[in-house]
Structure 1
């Protein structure tokens, strides 16, 4: 097996979980802009930095998606102060 094929295979295995539905997707980038208007619910999730994932606070959004935010941003600190960590 060539190194190129092996590299691509390992990359795909790291992106797609072996057991769909058991692993949550991770944030590979965060927003610094205040997007608190898009956040719904009273909970948030904290993500540790484990490449390719970055340190992030993850909020739920109104369209059923997730918002990855910078944990150091003041708007994130203000918003999580009144929320429950899950």
Structure 2
């Protein structure tokens, strides 16, 4: 089962994510910031409040926006 080891804000609406399968890289949130429930992520100060959810199965923000580890893996811009 894929889990998220860590997440931190990397600037320019990107998050640095480390996954349990050894993959790490950037997840670009900018494509989601104009979509309904995710619009709050357009606020960079709010975006910085990202954390790994309690199950480790994804990341989340205080108002319950979230992305699963599988989504992160599929859209990860992998580090070289």
User: TM-score, normalised to structure 2's length?
Assistant: 0.31
User: TM-score, normalised to structure 1's length?
Assistant: 0.29
